[in-house]
Chain A
């Protein structure tokens, strides 16, 4: 796998290389010192291959295990935590609320062979209902545990996929560190236990990123398809598709030689970008056509996008649409703003009406709207200065353990990832691995509203980007100091009079 061409190094342009050295696959992060350190050794690149030695019959497996043992351990730990939480501590159906309740009841309805599909079946992600319905209809007893098991497996599968794409974009050690943090991060563990569509979107995002090799158009087609499937579960993945396509389309060609425009256009990256979009469209368009047909007017994926837009831009606490569909933004309850509830005598399906109403609020005050947008950007990282919401704290329901992980991502990984983006700004892989996903998160915040829930599935990219700088700090700042300190402490012992007196000059 290491030698697989799909893991080809990102095309680092010698001409574009920044002044500081940019570690890539071809040039893995180099440690400045060889000072012994167990942690560093644990995630370090293996030493160069030794000359071939005669080995025992079972010996070939040993180097493979040695090479993958850390990833294996990380994945096993991640699996154990997820299984413990989703199957034992918090089994599906044990506690239902909001989206989870919607998916649960949709699955139960879809599992019923007498169910007559109606217009209302399209107001929740169908993909979730169909999966749940399929499982519940085929596993009468323990169907919910089987569903929980699927959640666990998908969430666990996200780990090696994250390793693959992070290794390609940021290097192997960064990939191990990022995967290790993701394995113990409570947020995806909670998503698995709470039957949330985030689990499916995160899996699809990781799979899509793992398949995103700009030099391989066919893999990019599959990457787009994976992202499109993720959007069927959670449409918030959609903005990433054009952003990734844009980065891949403008992927530079290796070498210094000047090329004609035709030659540039014929490069596989250009085709890869187009196929990426086509792959995504293959998953998204059939669903959108079906929803449009039921809805009676063109609709992209979700029939309630207009309502989301309205509630994102108008100062309201709760919306009632024709007495049959209600919506609220959790963060508004926290803000305790003096905002009214609103009722419309218009069905939720009329997205165009709600977008128009939302635009009225947007046009009310340009500067007020600009300030609001800035707030939304900050609100993606709840708890930030300037954000209007607490770092997660829906009372009763979300355990407080969510809070430290959210804070860690907001205050540690995100700033570090931004540093990574700046330091590696000329490396397109960094834009695929963090820049574009972060732009997608903020794009959603601007169009709809800033909410940590819109960010959390994309955390795997933030963790990957942040891990690179974290290792960089460890290698270039912490480790030399630790080594120097160790050396300083050991020197007086060697140089002490007692020590020197024990060594006879003639010895």
Chain B
């Protein structure tokens, strides 16, 4: 009997003390095959009239979390893999100013930003987190109310995590970026590497790269699929809007973006905001192969054909 009890205690001790391994994310041909972890903000329990679940067809899963007064909401989450950053998808309701969002992880502030958009937008942040349980807190710090017609509110859709990996240096392949729902890795034999990112619905891909010398700008290798108009592409570097324009070419083209970038780590996001689908014959999509940095920008600033069938 004593032996059995000892074995049981030993087993329980081992369960309690067992340190989990750190499963690595699966990177194959530069593509992060997952698991890309995320959680829906609306799962955070409501707190009376101040915080609650709202219906929003444009949010993932059709729901989002609304924070209507100066509140902090918290959610514990068990991460499966090591992560190096996160992206919070949020939007605001303006009233003599936009809402400010503060994201803290395990009590440490990691992202403080003004949510100056009425539609969903991704806000990236850096945080190196080990697998296991962490506490995520979202604060709405500057509530303002002037009656029913003027009410400043904050809405959070979801939080997605960037798997830890060796930092990309130099050119950035689109397939190595964080791809939230709506963006897929698709095969394209005409693109280098054979794989590109297809933005099939309104979405935004986020990535990081380390530059070892100053750059004058970069080109985005992209193509579009037209449906009652071409797809729009918005490019942001380090949180600053650098490009917004239509990608009219059905073949691959280089879209030049001027941006003086110093050596160091830079975050970059590519967004497709004007999706349209009217059946298989009419589907507006954006495809991106990658971002190639240039030390000197070409004199011609217009999009250039990058492949034999480019147009």
Question: Could you say which residues of chain A place their CB within 8 Å of the CB of B11?
Answer: 367, 370
B39 at interface by CB-CB < 8 Å: yes
Enumerate A364-415 residues with CB–CB distance to B below 8 Å: 364-368, 370-371
Question: Could you say which residues of chain B place their CB within 8 Å of the CB of A366?
Answer: 14, 18
User: What 1/0 mask marks residues of chain B from 75 to 90 whose CB sits below 8 Å from any chain A CB?
Assistant: 1111110000000000
Q: Whose C-beta in chain B lies nearest to the C-beta of A322?
A: B184
Q: Which one of B19-27, B215-223, B235-243 contacts A?
A: B19-27
Question: Could you say which residues of chain A place their CB within 8 Å of the CB of B249?
Answer: none
- How far apart are B188's CB and chain A's nearest CB, in angstroms? 15
* Contact A344-B35, Cβ < 8 Å, known A339-B78, A360-B23: yes
- How far apart are B80's CB and chain A's nearest CB, in angstroms? 6
A345 close to B21 (CB less than 8 A) = no
B18 close to A344 (CB less than 8 A) = no
B246 at interface by CB-CB < 8 Å: no
Question: Could you say which residues of chain A place their CB within 8 Å of the CB of B14?
Answer: 366-367
* Contact A364-B23, Cβ < 8 Å, known A340-B38, A343-B34, A343-B36: yes
Partner of A342, one of B15, B35, B185: B35
Q: Which residues of A contact B (CB under 8 A)?
A: 314-317, 320, 322-323, 337-346, 353, 357, 360-361, 363-368, 370-371
* Contact A368-B18, Cβ < 8 Å, known A320-B181, A340-B37: yes
Question: Could you say which residues of chain B place their CB within 8 Å of the CB of A346?
Answer: 33-34
Question: Could you say which residues of chain B place their CB within 8 Å of the CB of A364?
Answer: 20-21, 23, 131
B37 close to A342 (CB less than 8 A) = yes
Q: How far is the CA of A76 from the CA of B71 in the complex (A)?
A: 62
Q: Whose C-beta in chain B lies nearest to the C-beta of A342?
A: B35
B208 at interface by CB-CB < 8 Å: no
Number of A-B contacts (CB under 8 A): 88
Partner of B181, one of A337, A343, A357: A343
Question: Could you say which residues of chain A place their CB within 8 Å of the CB of B78?
Answer: 315, 337-340
A316 close to B181 (CB less than 8 A) = no
Can you give 22 contacting A-B residue pairs, CB < 8 Å? A314-B35, A317-B39, A338-B75, A340-B38, A340-B77, A340-B78, A341-B39, A342-B34, A342-B37, A343-B38, A345-B31, A345-B33, A345-B179, A345-B184, A357-B34, A357-B35, A364-B20, A364-B21, A365-B18, A365-B19, A368-B18, A370-B15
B228 at interface by CB-CB < 8 Å: no
B190 at interface by CB-CB < 8 Å: no
Enumerate B118-140 residues with CB–CB distance to A below 8 Å: 131, 133
Q: Which of B38, B40, B181 has the most CB of A within 10 A?
A: B38
* Contact A345-B39, Cβ < 8 Å, known A357-B26, A367-B14: no
Q: How far is the CA of A322 from the CA of B35 in the complex (A)?
A: 11
A314 close to B21 (CB less than 8 A) = no
B289 at interface by CB-CB < 8 Å: no
B254 at interface by CB-CB < 8 Å: no
- How far apart are B134's CB and chain A's nearest CB, in angstroms? 9
Beyond A323-B200, A367-B18, 14 additional contacts (C-beta under 8 Å) are A316-B35, A320-B181, A323-B182, A339-B78, A340-B78, A342-B37, A344-B34, A344-B35, A345-B32, A345-B33, A357-B26, A367-B14, A368-B18, A370-B15
Q: Whose C-beta in chain A lies nearest to the C-beta of B20?
A: A364
A323 close to B181 (CB less than 8 A) = yes
Question: Could you say which residues of chain A place their CB within 8 Å of the CB of B185?
Answer: 345
* Contact A340-B15, Cβ < 8 Å, known A345-B32, A346-B34: no
Question: Could you say which residues of chain A place their CB within 8 Å of the CB of B36?
Answer: 342-345
Q: How far is the CA of A7 from the CA of B32 in the complex (A)?
A: 60
Q: Which of B11, B15, B184 has the most CB of A within 10 A?
A: B15
B133 close to A338 (CB less than 8 A) = yes
Q: Which of A361, A363, A364, A371 has the most CB of B within 10 A?
A: A364
Q: Which of A314, A320, A345 has the most CB of B within 10 A?
A: A345
- How far apart are A431's CB and chain B's nearest CB, in angstroms? 27
B23 close to A341 (CB less than 8 A) = no
Enumerate B59-112 residues with CB–CB distance to A below 8 Å: 75-80
Question: Could you say which residues of chain A place their CB within 8 Å of the CB of B79?
Answer: 340
Q: How far is the CA of A357 from the CA of B179 in the complex (A)?
A: 19
Partner of B77, one of A338, A343, A367: A338
Q: How far is the CA of A409 from the CA of B179 in the complex (A)?
A: 46
* Contact A368-B15, Cβ < 8 Å, known A338-B78, A338-B133: yes
* Contact A343-B80, Cβ < 8 Å, known A357-B26, A368-B18: no
Q: How far is the CA of A470 from the CA of B185 in the complex (A)?
A: 59
Question: Could you say which residues of chain A place their CB within 8 Å of the CB of B23?
Answer: 360-361, 363-364
Q: How far is the CA of A353 from the CA of B15 in the complex (A)?
A: 28
- How far apart are B245's CB and chain A's nearest CB, in angstroms? 26
Q: Whose C-beta in chain B lies nearest to the C-beta of A356?
A: B26
A367 close to B21 (CB less than 8 A) = no
Question: Could you say which residues of chain A place their CB within 8 Å of the CB of B19?
Answer: 365
Q: Which of B18, B79, B184 has the most CB of A within 10 A?
A: B18
* Contact A341-B37, Cβ < 8 Å, known A315-B78, A361-B80: yes
Question: Could you say which residues of chain B place their CB within 8 Å of the CB of A344?
Answer: 33-36
* Contact A341-B40, Cβ < 8 Å, known A323-B181, A360-B23: yes
User: What 1/0 mask marks residues of chain B from 187 to 209 whose CB sits below 8 Å from any chain A CB?
Assistant: 00000000000001000000000
Q: How far is the CA of A361 from the CA of B79 in the complex (A)?
A: 12
Partner of B35, one of A343, A363, A367, A368: A343
Q: How far is the CA of A363 from the CA of B20 in the complex (A)?
A: 9
Q: Whose C-beta in chain B lies nearest to the C-beta of A345?
A: B185
Q: How far is the CA of A363 from the CA of B18 in the complex (A)?
A: 11
Partner of A368, one of B20, B33, B37, B200: B20
Q: How far is the CA of A363 from the CA of B21 in the complex (A)?
A: 8
Q: How far is the CA of A366 from the CA of B10 in the complex (A)?
A: 13
Q: Whose C-beta in chain B lies nearest to the C-beta of A337?
A: B78
- How far apart are A320's CB and chain B's nearest CB, in angstroms? 7
Partner of A315, one of B32, B80, B200: B80
B21 close to A341 (CB less than 8 A) = no
Question: Could you say which residues of chain B place their CB within 8 Å of the CB of A322?
Answer: 184
Q: How far is the CA of A339 from the CA of B78 in the complex (A)?
A: 5
Q: Whose C-beta in chain A lies nearest to the C-beta of B181?
A: A323
Q: Whose C-beta in chain B lies nearest to the C-beta of A319?
A: B35
B80 close to A341 (CB less than 8 A) = no
Question: Could you say which residues of chain B place their CB within 8 Å of the CB of A353?
Answer: 33
- How far apart are A363's CB and chain B's nearest CB, in angstroms? 6
- How far apart are A360's CB and chain B's nearest CB, in angstroms? 4
Q: Which of B23, B133, B200 has the most CB of A within 10 A?
A: B23
Q: How far is the CA of A315 from the CA of B39 in the complex (A)?
A: 13
Q: Whose C-beta in chain B lies nearest to the C-beta of A360?
A: B23
Q: How far is the CA of A353 from the CA of B31 in the complex (A)?
A: 14
Q: Which of A323, A341, A368 has the most CB of B within 10 A?
A: A341
B39 close to A340 (CB less than 8 A) = yes
- How far apart are A443's CB and chain B's nearest CB, in angstroms? 22
* Contact A367-B15, Cβ < 8 Å, known A344-B33, A345-B32: yes
Q: Whose C-beta in chain B lies nearest to the C-beta of A323?
A: B184
Question: Could you say which residues of chain A place their CB within 8 Å of the CB of B182?
Answer: 323
Question: Could you say which residues of chain B place their CB within 8 Å of the CB of A341?
Answer: 37-40
Question: Could you say which residues of chain A place their CB within 8 Å of the CB of B35?
Answer: 314, 316, 342-344, 357
